[in-house]
């Protein structure tokens, strides 16, 4: 009894507490959420936003014909991968942190990667798996195994089909779409390319056919089919209806990027594609941007681009300029003729993953004190912005469109990234915001930007802040912030690039200028006791530069890179040119193989300025996306007086077209002041010969 009595009052307390909390919950819930502002995303669009990063795979007939746009006149027998393994694609995509794969089921040349009933131009007539294969099905199975979503690219333009341009082809196109929508499980995205009409094989007609992209394909019908057969799939095209192209294939969105557009003006077909980069602030439809780019210069695999896979720093930049600017990142992997993602591509992908994982390893805002200048109360308090849950959010009162949110740290905190997300189920509202920090008791302005949307990431120099404040300066309605995260990313540590210009100035370069660089020029291995790089230095004589990059924060360092330079080209002069051409010709002697010079003659003669003991030559082929005039067989002559010539070397630059790296040839030493490189044969139909860079070797 005593016991009963003693707990009785406790029971009363619990009851009262329960009542209070009930009232609180009820009253909290009575604070209504803000109303939507402008267009809002559909459920399928919301799911797509969460995809963030996924792979494009361009693999089809072009992989075997070494083309980007096949004519349509190819034969199914040409499709013959030696070792096609879609599980390898999926394994790599998964390991890279991607959430899905979109495959070119049919590209403009019309070849179908699945055994369609609609045409003979498909895998069923190829030697691959004796015509019994189905690449789309294989990829569907691989995606299931690796828990990835599948999307399909179906080119409306078909340069193979004889009926292209007539109503019959549109029926065929719809039938192909129907097959893809029905037989391959759930799709997350259907991708319609914008390129349309023009010259093609068209069943042997070899002519130009033009169609009206707005009306010809009966887009209403394709949309209805997709909605019916794949209700969760978003539809991509230049202008929607669900997802838009970002208006460039270089891999970036504008800093200002609205997920809304005046869609009825732009869909279908849209000539003013530059506006796709930012969207429309007064958009009428939710139409977010997908940033598609390739990991190589081309969409399809070309062996000649094996050394041009985008570097990890370049990919990291693309990540920040797509996902960090309110876009999804669709990164293309050109699968090669074996049917595999190339080793170089996979290595760079993992490099990107490694760096992004490091950049976002420790979130620093959560668990700290947070306050806002205003909140609508209820469940919409500032805490909700840093609770790590995207479904809860801080929101202001209906009339408040300017407000700030401040995170205070117990100890000053090093920070260099802000990640912020609006609660987009209620629309995208913010069109101006600023970031400031309390450093040593003083408020300091860090950055001011425009839109946020689903996700915005700001990068800035590392600061040590007592507080961080985000000021929303302008919003189209009450503010909603679902997420505010802070990070301290480590420095981007990659090996330095070493170059020397025509004047003999040696430069070291890394993407992060706050990293320290150390170098040697005596052949020894560099370390942190070697010379610290403070700017370009003179390296006139032949020399070897070795360099490392070191993170001053933690002493981490890269492996060393080593670069040999021979004599300086300052006094070199291409003979027999007018002044204008002379200036242009410097591009073959500027130390930069990415600039080129081309000449209509089949040889080039250079005065080196004085006699040298020559032991070899070096030739960088042109690095342009569409190369021409690469010398494949050569003769190299030397002379002391420019009159009498001696043949120093002749031969072939083997595989130089496919693998456009520097060609170095040694020969029996000879003294000479004049050199002549003759093209005995060259690549391509262009009458010119081209040079990325030409050099001589004076030491072995």
The CA distance from 678 to 463, in Å, is 58
We find the least distance from the C-beta atom of residue 68 to ligand FUL, in angstroms, to be: 6
> Does 194 engage in binding with ligand FUL (CB under 6 A)?
yes
Nearer to ligand FUL, 213 or 404 (CB): 213
Residue from 154, 44, 142, 152 nearest 93 by CA: 142
Nearer to ligand FUL, 114 or 393 (CB): 114
> Does 195 engage in binding with ligand FUL (CB under 6 A)?
yes
Nearer to ligand FUL, 315 or 550 (CB): 315
Tokens of 612: 């040298």
Tokens of 151: 């999307």
We find the least distance from the C-beta atom of residue 390 to ligand FUL, in angstroms, to be: 30
Tokens of 237: 């095209």
DSSP class of 377: -
Residue numbers 634-673 binding ligand FUL by CB under 6 A: none
> Does 193 engage in binding with ligand FUL (CB under 6 A)?
yes
Nearer to ligand FUL, 139 or 415 (CB): 139
Residue numbers 260-289 binding ligand FUL by CB under 6 A: none
> Does 299 engage in binding with ligand FUL (CB under 6 A)?
yes
We find the least distance from the C-beta atom of residue 189 to ligand FUL, in angstroms, to be: 13
Residue from 333, 335, 337, 368 nearest 350 by CA: 333
- Segment interacting with ligand FUL (CB under 6 A) among 187-195, 361-369, 513-521, 535-543: 187-195
Give the number of residues in contact with ligand FUL, rule: CB under 6 A: 6
Q: What are phi and psi for residue 514, nearest 5 degrees?
A: -90, 0
Contact between 405 and 382 under an 8 Å Cβ cutoff? The reply is yes
- Segment interacting with ligand FUL (CB under 6 A) among 190-198, 357-365, 514-522, 526-534: 190-198
Nearer to ligand FUL, 193 or 693 (CB): 193
We find the least distance from the C-beta atom of residue 249 to ligand FUL, in angstroms, to be: 6
- Segment interacting with ligand FUL (CB under 6 A) among 189-197, 389-397, 597-605, 634-642: 189-197
The CA distance from 545 to 555, in Å, is 21
> Does 293 engage in binding with ligand FUL (CB under 6 A)?
no
Binder of ligand FUL out of 71, 222, 230, 292 (CB under 6 A): 292
> Does 138 engage in binding with ligand FUL (CB under 6 A)?
no
> Does 490 engage in binding with ligand FUL (CB under 6 A)?
no
We find the least distance from the C-beta atom of residue 684 to ligand FUL, in angstroms, to be: 21
> Does 626 engage in binding with ligand FUL (CB under 6 A)?
no
> Does 557 engage in binding with ligand FUL (CB under 6 A)?
no
Strand positions, DSSP E, 192-348: 198-200, 207-209, 234-237, 243-245, 260-261, 285-286, 289-294, 327-334
Contact between 330 and 102 under an 8 Å Cβ cutoff? The reply is yes
State the CB neighbour count (10 A cutoff) for residue 1.
5
**Which H helix or E strand runs over 1?**
none
Strand positions, DSSP E, 575-692: 597-599, 603-620, 631-639, 646-652, 663-682, 689-691
Contact between 684 and 630 under an 8 Å Cβ cutoff? The reply is yes
> Does 318 engage in binding with ligand FUL (CB under 6 A)?
no
C-alpha distance from residue 229 to each of 99, 182, 190, 223 (Å): 22, 7, 12, 10
Nearer to ligand FUL, 292 or 381 (CB): 292
Q: Which residues bind ligand FUL (CB under 6 A)?
A: 68, 193-195, 292, 299
């Amino acid at each position: 009894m005593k016991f009963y009595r003693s707990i009785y009052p406790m029971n009363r307390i619990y009851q009262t507490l329960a009542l209070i909390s009930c009232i609180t919950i009820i009253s909290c819930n009575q604070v209504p959420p803000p109303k939507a502002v402008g267009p809002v995303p559909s459920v399928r669009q919301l799911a797509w936003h969460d995809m963030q990063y996924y792979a494009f795979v361009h693999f089809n007939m072009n992989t075997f014909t070494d083309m980007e746009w096949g004519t349509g006149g190819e034969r199914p027998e040409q499709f013959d991968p030696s070792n096609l393994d879609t599980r390898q694609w999926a394994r790599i995509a998964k390991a890279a942190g991607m959430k899905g794969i979109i495959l070119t089921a049919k590209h403009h040349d019309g070849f179908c990667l699945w055994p369609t009933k609609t045409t003979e131009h498909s895998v069923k007539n190829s030697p691959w798996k004796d015509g019994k294969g189905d690449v789309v099905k294989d990829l569907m199975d691989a995606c299931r195994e690796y828990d990835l979503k599948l999307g399909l690219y179906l080119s409306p333009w078909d340069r193979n089909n004889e009926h292209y341009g007539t109503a019959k082809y549109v029926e065929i196109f719809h039938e192909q779409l129907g097959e893809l929508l029905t037989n391959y499980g759930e799709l997350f995205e259907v991708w319609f390319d914008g390129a349309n009409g023009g010259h093609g094989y068209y069943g042997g007609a070899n002519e130009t056919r033009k169609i009206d992209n707005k009306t010809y394909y009966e887009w209403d019908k394709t949309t209805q089919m997709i909605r019916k057969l794949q209700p969760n799939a978003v539809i991509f095209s230049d202008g929607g209806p669900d997802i838009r192209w970002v208006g460039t294939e270089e891999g970036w969105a504008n800093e200002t990027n609205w997920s809304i557009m005046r869609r009825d003006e732009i869909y279908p077909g849209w000539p003013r594609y530059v506006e796709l980069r930012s969207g429309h602030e007064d958009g009428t439809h939710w139409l977010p941007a997908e940033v598609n780019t390739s990991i190589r210069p081309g969409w399809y695999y070309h062996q000649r681009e094996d050394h041009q896979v985008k570097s990890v720093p370049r990919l990291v930049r693309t990540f920040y300029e797509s996902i960090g600017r309110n876009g999804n990142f669709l990164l293309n992997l050109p699968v090669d003729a074996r049917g595999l993602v190339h080793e170089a591509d996979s290595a760079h992908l993992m490099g990107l993953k490694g760096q992004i994982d490091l950049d976002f390893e420790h979130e620093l805002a959560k668990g700290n004190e947070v306050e806002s200048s205003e909140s609508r109360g209820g469940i919409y308090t500032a805490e909700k912005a840093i609770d790590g849950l995207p479904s809860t959010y801080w929101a202001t009162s209906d009339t408040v469109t300017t407000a700030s949110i401040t995170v205070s740290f117990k100890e000053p905190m090093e920070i260099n990234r802000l990640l912020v997300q609006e609660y987009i189920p209620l629309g995208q509202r913010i069109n101006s915001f600023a970031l400031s920090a309390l450093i040593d008791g003083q408020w300091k302005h860090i950055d001011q930007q425009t839109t946020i949307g689903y996700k915005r990431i700001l990068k800035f120099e590392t600061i040590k802040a007592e507080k961080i404040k985000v000021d929303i300066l302008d919003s189209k309605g009450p503010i909603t912030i679902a997420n505010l995260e802070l990070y301290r990313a480590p420095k981007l540590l990659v090996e330095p690039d070493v170059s020397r210009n025509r004047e003999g100035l040696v430069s070291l370069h890394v993407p992060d200028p706050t990293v320290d660089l150390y170098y040697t020029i005596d052949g020894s291995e560099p370390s942190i006791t070697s010379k610290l790089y403070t700017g370009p230095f003179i390296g006139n004589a032949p020399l070897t530069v070795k360099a490392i990059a070191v993170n001053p924060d933690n002493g981490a360092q890269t492996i060393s890179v080593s670069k040999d330079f021979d004599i300086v080209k300052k006094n070199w002069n291409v003979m027999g040119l007018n002044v204008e051409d002379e200036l242009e010709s410097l591009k073959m002697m500027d130390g930069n193989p990415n600039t080129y010079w081309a000449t209509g003659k089949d040889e080039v003669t250079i005065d080196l300025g004085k006699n040298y003991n020559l032991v070899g030559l070096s030739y960088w082929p042109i690095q342009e996306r569409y190369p021409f005039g690469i010398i494949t067989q050569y003769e190299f002559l030397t002379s002391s007086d420019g009159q009498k010539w001696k043949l120093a070397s002749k031969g072939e630059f083997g595989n130089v077209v496919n693998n456009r790296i520097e060609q170095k040839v040694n020969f029996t030493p000879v003294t000479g002041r004049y050199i002549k490189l003759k093209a005995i044969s060259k690549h391509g139909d262009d009458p010119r010969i081209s040079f990325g860079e030409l050099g001589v070797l004076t030491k072995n």
